[in-house]
Structure 1
Amino acid sequence: MSQQKLHVRKGDTVYILTGKDAGKKGKVLQVLPSKRKVLVEGVNVVKKHSRPTRSIPQGGIIEKEAFIDSSNVMLVCGKCNKPTRVAKKIADDRYYRACKKCGEIIDK
């Protein structure tokens, strides 16, 4: 599977479209373009049972975020603060991501 560009990047604010956390907003912590997955802060929290190790001496049940598919998130525009699809705009001989609703360039 070849590595493809995603519509979201690390640090973006996204809106969750489907699943148990639908309607929530969160910050993207990590992106896996090869698997088309994103890790969003406070979304898709799962419980992991871990045995005691040197780094976690008490062990127990740890809550952590799990990856979700990138197709289930929508980028939130910084200007209009609404979930939007991503458009391409050319400025300074370079392509930038832009908001489809207000036209604001997202990553300058």
Structure 2
Amino acid sequence: MKVKKNDTVLVITGKDAGKTGKVIFAAPADNKVKVDGVNVQKRSKKARSANETSAIVPQVGAIDASNVMVVCPKCDKATRVAYKIVDGKKVRVCKKCGAALDSAPEAKKAAKKAGEEKTAANYTAKKAADADAPKKRTKKTEKVEETAEKAE
């Protein structure tokens, strides 16, 4: 699903077609999104105690993700979403202007999730640091050192 939480989207079909709003909930497993101010339904709330009163409460309903288009923050147009790999990370990109749709905090979160990449340079640097560190003295290492001294 190419729509994420906090994206600004335009509803393209249904009773609320033409409205824009912010995604407040995204369910990729169901391919559904909840958009602020779109598909508002009225639900009855019963009184649970003598002090409370019953009320009709407006509630945002879920709509299918295929019925919305992401609005690009740079060009302010509804656009399709493309993916590009930048610095080893998969980034969402506007098809119309090419601007990145993912905000900086999301990119940082993705980088943190990916962790540090294992490269040969990192591995050799770690090995060199381990070699410089003093070795732990155990009975086995003491025996090895004694036999080495006797052999000399």
Same fold (TM over 0.5): yes
CA contact (8 A) 1:89 1:105 kept: no
> Equivalent residue for 1:87?
82
> Equivalent residue for 1:24?
19
Residue type at the aligned position of 2:18 = G
Matches within 5 A, 1:6-85: 6-53=1-48, 57-85=52-80
Matches within 5 A, 1:92-103: 92-103=87-98
Q: Which 4+ runs in 1 deviate beyond 2 A?
A: none
Residue type at the aligned position of 1:14 = V
CA contact (8 A) 1:31 1:38 kept: yes
Which runs of 5 or more structure 2 residues have no equivalent in the other structure? 105-152
Count how many residue pairs are aligned between Structure 1 and Structure 2: 102
Structure 1 residue 94: Cα displacement: 1.1
Structure 1 residue 53: Cα displacement: 2.2
- CA distance in 2: counterparts of 1:75 and 1:57, whole angstroms: 41
TM-score (norm 2): 0.64
Structure 1 counterpart SS, 2:26 = strand
- CA distance in 2: counterparts of 1:51 and 1:41, whole angstroms: 24
Question: Which has the larger Rg?
Answer: 2
- CA distance in 2: counterparts of 1:53 and 1:25, whole angstroms: 36
- CA distance in 1: counterparts of 2:101 and 2:55, whole angstroms: 41
Structure 1 residue 63: Cα displacement: 0.7
Structure 1 or 2: larger helix share? 2
**RMSD across aligned positions (CA):** 1.3
Q: Higher relative CO (CA 8 A, sep ≥ 6), structure 1 or 2?
A: 1
Sequence identity percentage = 49
> Equivalent residue for 2:141?
none
- CA distance in 2: counterparts of 1:43 and 1:12, whole angstroms: 14
Structure 1 counterpart SS, 2:90 = strand
Cα shift readout 1:38-61 (whole Å, capped 9, x = no counterpart)? 00000000011121125x922221
Residue type at the aligned position of 1:18 = T
- CA distance in 1: counterparts of 2:81 and 2:24, whole angstroms: 19
